[in-house]
Amino acid sequence: MELTQELSHFWLLLLVIVAFVAGYVDAIAGGGGMILIPALLFAGIPAVSAMAVNKVVAIAGTSLAVIKYALAKQVSWHLVFWALLPCLIASFIGGKAALSLSDSLLSWMILLCIPVALYFVLTTRKTSASGAAVKTAKAGIILSPIGFYDGLLGPGTGTYMTIAMRRFLSMEYLKATATTKPLNLATNIGAAVAFLLAGKVLWSLAIPMLLANAMGAWIGSHFAVKNGDDFIRKMLVVVLVVMLLANVMKQIAS
């Protein structure tokens, strides 16, 4: 019997609701995986299948967010084009590096990254504006380490990309969030293909969750476009604080 058939109707409904919330939050500030994966694990889904379902669900939500931001003309496609390949290569290298590190070390690395990101969000200084050519060159240099982080650790990648674009590329939060989504979509697809080939996706659970996630992402991106930078900045702080607390609790429990 498939594992999802053993879940109660309560858990199925709860996971669909969580997927909606994750899609909404991720479309605005990233960090959807930090909501989805713990919920799946708590419901009794094996870790590998939880990660597989999370990636498939995230693809649906991120795709809708990309469309919404593109329609609002907020995506810097030129920057996406030049940053995509370096991020993918760095992510692949990060994934290889993760195989040689212990779970304990990886957990501590995730935890230490969050206060740094919070500092950058809470301090308002940006670098001075650059020309298009300089900004393009800087994008590959600045975003590649985050691509490496995505392969090595993963949680909060979209959040960190948004913060980096704001801080070092002089982009407003709305533009940075929108431009992050196609890059995050590409890295999600890369990971999802591996899970699909391994047959780890629980489709009877993933399909209703991805529909809910896509709906949440569409609404979340709408609110981001409507309310602008201040709203996104507040959501970034909330996401980072939740990530910090969740990881501290995890370290204490272990």
pLDDT of residue 130: 60
Phi, psi of 143 (to 5 degrees): -85, -25
Count how many Cα atoms sit within 13 Å of the Cα of residue 140 in the half-sphere of its side chain. Answer: 13
pLDDT of residue 1: 38
pLDDT of residue 72: 94
* Tens digit of each residue's pLDDT, the chain (254 residues): 355 556 778 888 999 999 999 999 999 988 888 788 888 888 888 877 887 888 899 899 999 999 999 999 999 999 999 899 888 888 888 877 876 777 677 677 777 888 888 887 787 665 555 666 767 778 888 898 888 887 777 777 888 899 999 888 888 999 999 999 999 888 788 777 877 888 888 898 999 999 999 999 999 999 999 998 999 988 888 888 888 887 788 778 76
- Closest by Cα among 16, 170, 157, 192 to 87: 157
What does the block give as tokens for 43? 């419901």
Residues in contact with 164: Cβ distance below 8 Å, sequence separation at least 6, in sequence order: 120, 142, 143, 146
| Separation of alpha carbons 242 and 7, rounded Å | 27
pLDDT of residue 20: 96
Burial environment of residue 145 by CB neighbours within 10 A (0 to 12, 13 to 18, 19 or more): middle
